[in-house]
Structure 1
Amino acid sequence: MYQHVRTGRRIAAGLACAAAVVSLTACGNGKSGTGSADGATPSTAAKASPAADPNGIEKLSAKEIYDKSRETNAKAGSFRQKMTRENAKTDVLLSGTECVGTVEMTGQGSFDIVRKGNDVWAKFDSNMAQTIKEKSGLTVSAGTWLHGPPTHPLMKGLASWCHTEQITEPDTADAGLNATKGKVTTVDGQQVVPIFITGKGDKVTWYTATTGEPYYLKQDATREDMPDITNSDFGTPVNAEKPSGQIEEAPQG
């Protein structure tokens, strides 16, 4: 099973891991203005201000930049995250206890996800409803919100795509992480410092803002089974709410 890879603490495993059968649980890192439970679709990402003052983070070591940027994202309390890899795509707005957004899994279907504390709701298209039946034996209704706690096996797997641990447990770099710092450059109109992580012949690049708050803004990976990530809308309230419409309780396996 393809395992969840979070970033620095598990990057070696991530670079060494080969994609296997995609499960309903997230992997990769493995995002919305105000969240809408009806559509569960985040709004367009806000642009970083080009007039922001330099923050000097490029003067730190690669590992220090890595740790500082993850800490800064967590301190924002919430942000939008878009992730793409060869077999999945997500767009969610998340905090430590909330999440609103969408998940698309290639060849398996898509679903809307809403999490608010100890409640998780998900609404599936017909393909995803069939995938769930084939993988877990559980019958769920397409187009109807499914509700359950984050401890329910199915709901736990679905909610894991939100990666709320980025707020509650921001990642840090291992002492042995093979990380090097690049020169300040511009990505998507934002001045950033790149950090290059290499292993097993593959490379992941992380970009941290060098003006304004030193946010971790983007990840590019050389392998298709590892995620490309963009983060934005820092500090935007999630405002997750119980969805309107028909709601069913998650079936027991």
Structure 2
Amino acid sequence: MNTLVLSARRAAAALACAAALVSVAACGNASGGTDAASSARPSAAAKGSPGAASNGLEKLAAKEIYNNSRQANADAGSFREQMTREDAKSDLRISATECAGSVEMAQRGSFEIVHKGDDVWASLDASLTKWVNSQFGLTLSADTWIHGTPTHPLMKGFVSWCHTEQISDPDTAGANLNPAKGKVTVVDGQEVVPVSISGKDETVTWYAATTGEPYYLGQDSSRDDMPDITFSDFGQPVGAQKPSGPVQEAPQE
């Protein structure tokens, strides 16, 4: 394998490492850890009226709430995921086969991404382009769409931020995850039931809607280095399309 391909693989690993922190499952918490994870507030698109008929979610055990709310998001087929973390933020629309939006990484730069089926396009700003080129010996051009497949050693680093597995293979509570169920409350006008875990003086809480569809609306964590996430726009098309403008093919494998 030539040096260029090795560099592309290293770049992908670095980008994927940053992206992994977006997902509770990717960090190992959902399968049994007690580290805190993330935060959210339901958006207007997911709101239900306080006092509306209950969907019955709050009557279930904590693990069932966890599982059912994630399945409800998957069943919607698509949603908008907005994430913020101390060193990154993203705004992505996601389905099982599509993803479109933007990612910003502190001290590195930002990129736009479009993922549709077997195609991925990423447009890096000047700062991120310079960082990737200098760190990994590549010759990417700023503000040019880089094109490749989701399995390409470089492109999979960008597409790993999309977490399309939330639709195709939604997370479930592992045997070692023992969440506690809280009382139904209202967050930003939406009735929710909180489910939380605590450990090492840290707490992570998940919010699931108790009226309308039992969507998983977001997470709240006490850790600054883990993401705050809000889910909304359930079932709305991602609408990923091949971008216009100059395109540069990703380094050959």
Question: TM tier, shorter chain?
Answer: 0.7 to 0.9
When residues 14 and 112 of structure 1 are mapped into structure 2, their CA distance, relative to the original with a 3 A threshold, is farther
Which residue number corresponds to residue 47 of structure 2? 48
**Which residue type is aligned with residue 47 of structure 2?**
A
Paired with 2:159 and 2:148, the residues of 1 have a C-alpha distance of: 10
SS in 2 for 1:161: coil
Where relative contact order (Cα < 8 A, 6+ residues apart) is larger, the structure is 2
Which residue number corresponds to residue 114 of structure 2? 114
Are 2:81 and 1:61 aligned? Answer: no
Q: CA RMSD in A?
A: 2.2
Paired with 1:239 and 1:7, the residues of 2 have a C-alpha distance of: 26
Q: Once the two structures are superposed, what CA deviation does each residue of 1:11-70 show, in whole Å capped at 9, x if it has no partner?
A: 145728xxxxxxxxxxx78xxxxxxxxxxxxxx962524275320100101101000000
Percent of paired sites with the same residue: 59
**Which residue type is aligned with residue 165 of structure 2?**
E
Paired with 1:45 and 1:120, the residues of 2 have a C-alpha distance of: 30
Paired with 2:34 and 2:177, the residues of 1 have a C-alpha distance of: 12
- Equivalent residues in 2 for 1:89-128, closer than 5 Å: 89-128=89-128
SS in 2 for 1:93: strand
Q: Once the two structures are superposed, what CA deviation does each residue of 1:101-127 show, in whole Å capped at 9, x if it has no partner?
A: 000001100000000001000111101
Which residue number corresponds to residue 19 of structure 1? none
How many equivalent residue pairs? 228
The Cα of 1:221 is off from its aligned counterpart by: 1.2
CA contact (8 A) 2:46 2:234 kept: no
**Which residue type is aligned with residue 103 of structure 2?**
V
Which residue number corresponds to residue 70 of structure 1? 70
Which residue number corresponds to residue 175 of structure 2? 175
The Cα of 1:187 is off from its aligned counterpart by: 1.1
Paired with 2:230 and 2:208, the residues of 1 have a C-alpha distance of: 11
Paired with 1:252 and 1:202, the residues of 2 have a C-alpha distance of: 45
The Cα of 1:184 is off from its aligned counterpart by: 0.6
Which residue number corresponds to residue 213 of structure 1? 213
- Specify the structure having the higher radius of gyration (Cα): 2
Paired with 2:156 and 2:168, the residues of 1 have a C-alpha distance of: 17
CA contact (8 A) 2:79 2:234 kept: yes
When residues 197 and 217 of structure 1 are mapped into structure 2, their CA distance, relative to the original with a 3 A threshold, is same
CA contact (8 A) 2:197 2:203 kept: yes
Which residue number corresponds to residue 35 of structure 2? 15
Paired with 1:103 and 1:7, the residues of 2 have a C-alpha distance of: 18
CA contact (8 A) 2:184 2:192 kept: yes
CA contact (8 A) 1:206 1:216 kept: yes
Paired with 2:245 and 2:161, the residues of 1 have a C-alpha distance of: 23
Q: Which runs of 5+ in 2 are unaligned?
A: 1-13
The Cα of 1:140 is off from its aligned counterpart by: 1.1
Which residue number corresponds to residue 32 of structure 1? none
Are 2:183 and 1:166 aligned? Answer: no
**Which residue type is aligned with residue 205 of structure 2?**
T
**Normalization by structure 1: what TM-score?**
0.84
* Larger deviation, residues 216-225 vs 50-59: 50-59
SS in 2 for 1:211: coil
- Equivalent residues in 2 for 1:126-205, closer than 5 Å: 126-205=126-205
CA contact (8 A) 1:92 1:162 kept: yes
CA contact (8 A) 1:55 1:214 kept: yes
**Which residue type is aligned with residue 246 of structure 1?**
P
Runs of 4+ displaced beyond 6 Å: none
The Cα of 1:224 is off from its aligned counterpart by: 1.0
Paired with 2:53 and 2:25, the residues of 1 have a C-alpha distance of: 28
**Normalization by structure 2: what TM-score?**
0.84
When residues 115 and 215 of structure 1 are mapped into structure 2, their CA distance, relative to the original with a 3 A threshold, is same
CA contact (8 A) 1:78 1:96 kept: yes
